[in-house]
Amino acid sequence: MADFLRTYVYVDGYNIRKAVQKHRGPEFVQFKNLAGIVLAGAYEDMWLGTPCRIARVWYYDAEPDEQHPDRDKVLRYFAKLDELEDVHVRHGFLRHASSLSRRTQKGVDVLLAVDMLEHVHRGVMDVAVLFSGDADFAPLVEAVVHNGPRVVVVSYSDCLASDLRLVADVTVEIDKLKTKGLNSSTVMIPELKLD
């Protein structure tokens, strides 16, 4: 048996950012730290005490358009994430929806799914941590589980789709975590001020 489980973290940026805002959590999260806290302790016990080593964090989002009120702040966040060791920011794009007066993200979920399946195919990970509550990812999670890697889905309890909960090996509800060390200073990007 390996000394550690190779772990990749995938973040559906828009989905998890909206959930964090809804729950008034820290606006700019360092997902590698949060994933480490989530995976520590009891979750390792489920895998015979084998620790998870986070090898990569993949963050997926679309750049906000020129009219977005927090565009500069969000772009600074993306840049700070990209500067972190083993963190990679991947961008989809925005498209104007003809029936809506707003722009919608395109390509972000597909990009995440393609990357995760490629990593499964290449055999580079034992555990995938998905930060999202989006039911659209249920078929992806099911496919990954069927091919061997364990999948941990992380979101807030009221933002976690039941379809996703059913197919994941483990679901973690951020709002129900009772873990020492889980506070703003451990999961925030300290250099990024909110103002």
pLDDT in tens, 118-156: 999 999 999 999 999 999 999 999 999 999 999 999 988
Strand-pairing partners, residue 87, are: 57
In a domain, 192, yes or no: no
Euclidean distance between CA atoms 111 and 100, whole angstroms = 24
In a domain, 195, yes or no: no
Residue (of 115, 111, 57) closest to 84 by Cα position: 57
Residues spanned by the domain of 26:
5-187
Residue 26 confidence class, pLDDT cut points 50, 70, 90:
low
In a domain, 193, yes or no: no
Q: Specify the pTM.
A: 0.85
In a domain, 128, yes or no: yes
SS3 9: strand
**Mean pLDDT, rounded, for 11-36:** 77
* Residue 138, number of CB atoms within 10 A of its CB: 18
In a domain, 117, yes or no: yes
Number of domains present in the structure of the chain: 1
CATH no. for residue 140? 3.40.50.1010
Phi, psi (deg, nearest 5) at residue 39: -80, -15
In a domain, 194, yes or no: no
User: How high is the mean pLDDT of the chain?
Assistant: 80
